[in-house]
Amino acid sequence: MIRKFLRKVFNRTSTVPASTAVPDTIPFKQHGIRRNQITPCALKTAMQIQQAGYSAYIVGGAVRDLLLGLTPKDFDIATNATPEEVHKIFRRSRIIGRRFRLVHVMCGAEIIEVSTFRGNTPSNDEDESFTQTDEHGRLLNDNVFGNQEEDAVRRDFTVNALYYDPAREEILDYLQGYEDIRTKTLRIIGDPTQRYREDPVRLLRAVRLACKLQMRIDTATAHPIADLAPLLQNVPPSRLFDEMLKLLLSGHALSCVVELRSQGLHHGLLPMLDVILEQPLGERFITIALKNTDGRIRQNKPVSPAFLFAILLWHEVLSSWNTLQAKGEKPMPALFDAIDKVLSLQHEKLAIPRRFDATIQEIWSMQPRFEIRIGRKPFRLITHPRFRAAYDFMLLRCESGELSPELGEWWKAFLTSDAEKREKMLSTQGPTQKKRKRRTRKKSAAPTTGGTETPIQSEQS
């Protein structure tokens, strides 16, 4: 039935040219991916595009991940229908993007990205119908449509250029990507230097995907990476931010960051990483925090980007804070100045969206308050809406050796104690205690917030 329908479908024509090369066809019995491994939304979208007379394949990371036994993050579709043609098929869809126009098809909360096969004709020609590049060879637009083979060739890595047809349950492979999956080799398509120049984000993708997929980067693919690292300076900060976030939330953040550094790719992203990782305290802090984050991601627990950036930038804040205090500034104003300085620098370099600022600032500026264990101050601190994130952050500082482990233990005990025990804990904390205790006795104690969670847990929104 499906085959009959497909025969009908393939006789239809499209505005996008047909491929001339014959790809390897990998049948189900070899690759083992059933169409029910695709989300209903992606399957429905692909089938409806095919029913309208076009070709439609699941492509990119989803096919790769399924072949590797991983759960795909999202499903992308490639088609020979133009964005306008796709948009006409789906009532709930919209055309998005400028540099790369594609269609978002919505079903419920799920969004499927549908992109038209791209051609690969870079040129510095004035002709708008050609792909334009800047003086470093970076592609400035990518809206030239092509056939499926051309689309495969302009993707980044061979393992990302496999096309799964859900109707036939077949994979089309133009570039021996299937073999590279088998041997776990990450190989860039085409001339490595030219491909990195066209889009320097591919340098980061190589490192990220190799870590995430536990693949070996092919020698020729790896060779130019360190030399071309400065090209990242020309990439719009918002793209760097997106890629960096993917890396940090990949579940392999620690190995990715270590690898980025060894390839010299971190300069454009986290320039302070060198300095931080060279100090034993800084290295311990980031290592513990990223390990923790990776653990949470692998257990499907939420992780907040703001918390992550607070971690990555903390030692930058610390060093600036210390310098300002050494110059005679008072501790709290010095801390706020240091925070402003670090955040404004990172807005330029990494385009950390401003919506994260408030959380990052609060996590940092609450830190000195954990060290004041007298009077009503701890009670007030635990009622702060951002307490949990700041508390998790403080525990990481203790674990890394920046603060005494005793402080962390005290707070853990304080949070799990009842009101009476809390009062007792505070009464053993120093000479100012008595006076403050009398003054605030009428207030009721703040509720227990738990305290059994490990760092980077709650308050991660």
Q: How many CA atoms lie within 13 A of 166 on its CB side?
A: 29
Q: How far apart are CA 255 and CA 236, in angstroms?
A: 25
For the beta carbon of residue 283, count every other beta carbon within 10 angstroms.
15
Catalytic annotation on 156?
yes
138 binds, among ligand ATP, Mg ion, none (CB under 5 to 8 A by kind): none
Contact 350, 240 (CB under 8 A): yes
Residues 60-79 that bind ligand ATP (CB under 6 A): 60-61, 73, 76
Residues with Cβ < 8 Å from 238, sequence gap 6 or more?
351
Q: What is the DSSP letter of 37?
A: G
Q: How far apart are CA 221 and CA 419, in angstroms?
A: 61
Catalytic annotation on 151?
no
Q: Which of 261, 274, 255, 256 is nearest to 229 (CA)?
A: 261
Residues 196-225 that bind ligand ATP (CB under 6 A): 199, 201-202, 205
Q: Which of 270, 277, 276 is nearest to 248 (CA)?
A: 270
Catalytic position from the list 156, 165, 294, 392: 156
| Total interface residues for ligand ATP by CB under 6 A | 13
Q: Which of 82, 120, 160, 255 binds ligand ATP (CB under 6 A)?
A: 160
Q: By C-beta, is 101 or 246 nearer to ligand ATP? A: 246
Catalytic annotation on 392?
no
Residue type, 220: A
151 lies in the binding site for ligand ATP (CB under 6 A)? no
102 lies in the binding site for Mg ion (CB under 5 A)? no
Q: Which of 43, 54, 59, 61 binds Mg ion (CB under 5 A)?
A: 61
Catalytic position from the list 24, 74, 337, 357: 74
Q: Which residue is nearest to ligand ATP (CB)?
A: 61
Q: Which residue has the tokens 């320097």?
A: 200
Residue type, 170: E
Q: What size, in residues, is the chain?
A: 461
142 lies in the binding site for ligand ATP (CB under 6 A)? no
Q: By C-beta, is 166 or 251 nearer to ligand ATP? A: 251
Q: By C-beta, is 79 or 400 nearer to ligand ATP? A: 79
162 lies in the binding site for Mg ion (CB under 5 A)? no
Binding positions for ligand ATP, rule: CB under 6 A = 60-61, 73, 76, 155-156, 160-161, 199, 201-202, 205, 246
Q: Catalytic residue numbers?
A: 74, 76, 156
